[in-house]
Structure 1
Amino acid sequence: MSLSQLVAPHLPYLRRLSRALTGSQTSGDAHAVAALEAIVADPDLLRRDIAPRVALFRVLLDIWQRVPTNRAEGADAPVGAIERHAGQALSVLGLRARAAFLLDVLEGLSREEIGQALGASPEEVDRLVQEASREISAQIASDVLIIEDEPIIAMDIEALVEGLGHRVTGIARTHAEAVASVAVHRPGLVLADIQLADGSSGLDAVNEILTRIEVPVIFITAYPERLLTGERPEPAFLITKPFSVDAVRAVISQALFFGQQAQGPASRAAAG
């Protein structure tokens, strides 16, 4: 099997993890490209003694942890709002703890696989995940708008979000309802499905909302690979259906870590 054949099936998940780590499509995809370039230059980086997806994550995380601007704000820190907020967030939650938590609840890796990706023992992985969980549990609550056309799913998300300590200020089933809800109550976070009840697009609804306010957005979809091609502006944060409580908690926390005012054009979804 060629290198490209080995890597190709795992690229959407490499992009998803990289975007969740950095908080934007642009920065996340840049890190993912850097990881792929490193592997092309030295194929031995893609260790054959561990699963290809885990090996890809290992290369990505090594690059991510070595980039100075990912460590703290300073002379070399980027000037973008997202990156500034990211630097502040990282001072609260360590790089390795955040990575371990995302590998656990977002990517569903085992403790052994997380250890392989991070170069950590199972005991250290447990400690890192617990550290992240403690920090995330202390997260300040936010007002959440849910854009979801399936009533049962919307109710499940509402109960889940409120169980995490957040407040649901509205549930919209269509593009028009979503825009109207934002006009009544400005949310601190938006959770949006892709396909809505009237045939409209959650992507379009979110794009219109983002012309009016700056707010973190998380998309919910059963087909993440369709939104993780890297070919156009795409969401930074995705939750895959069917979703778990821990996955939702992880992604909500990541989105809020980057600040309600940190969402610029680079993190907005393109109209579908």
Structure 2
Amino acid sequence: MLLIGLFALLPLYWMLVTALSPADRVFQFPPDFLPDSITFANFRAVADDRQLFDYLTNSLIVALTTSVLSVVVSTYMGYSFSKFRYRGRRSLMHLVLASQMFPQSLLLITLYALFREMGMLGSYTALVLSFSTFTMPLCVWMLKGIFDTIPDALMEAAAIDGASRRRILHSVVAPLAAPGMAAAALFSFVRGWNDFIFALSLADKDTMTLPPGLVNTYIGEFQTSWPTLMAASLVVSLPVVVAFMFLQRFLVGGLTAGAVKS
């Protein structure tokens, strides 16, 4: 496990080494894994780039909105699939699952044409809806598995006490499913934060998020500023790392809560 961990962290370490290295030392051969010359000029260049903070703001808006929308819709859908029996339920469940089987690049063409006809290209709405298209199916099945583990007796007791179906979901079921909802929220946030191809195709200059923004800023046709790009990549990774640190226990609990039905 230690060797696997070192292998997984090697790219992150190399990003840090490149970000702290002067530009004339980046391409030296053999590579210097322990640089003897360190500079923070690349991080200062990132801090002075105001456009980068606009991309950061756009990423936060899109990722947070995608996370909230995915969790809210997935909670109601997962609860419906788990606790109710109605005609077409199984077909709907399979339809939600089948949506994950299409290549994202293929759906990009359809979504681009749809948003263009609706006049939504270059808007936050187009980005949020496109990201939610891919986060919602997994969130629905994840939360359905968690709702399956919640005993029906709890809901029956709440109904006897006069609680409505909506009150039962919000006051009884949702608190018990909080770890799974946190896991779904984190998954949706990371998906909206890291997406490149949809953000590049559907956004404009004012709504562009960090992944395509970094590429457009630091990667050119004839020259690429690798040290500054690595420094910017480390900085913009911090929100996801911090979110994962605070929600790690909920993520692990949410992913395993529905594994065994009680």
Q: TM-score with structure 2 length normalisation?
A: 0.23
**Which of structures 1 and 2 has the bigger CA Rg?**
2
Of Structure 1 and Structure 2, which has the larger fraction of its residues in strand? 1
Instruction: Return the structure number with greater relative CO, CA threshold 8 A, min gap 6.
Output: 2
Of Structure 1 and Structure 2, which has the larger fraction of its residues in helix? 2
Q: TM-score with structure 1 length normalisation?
A: 0.23
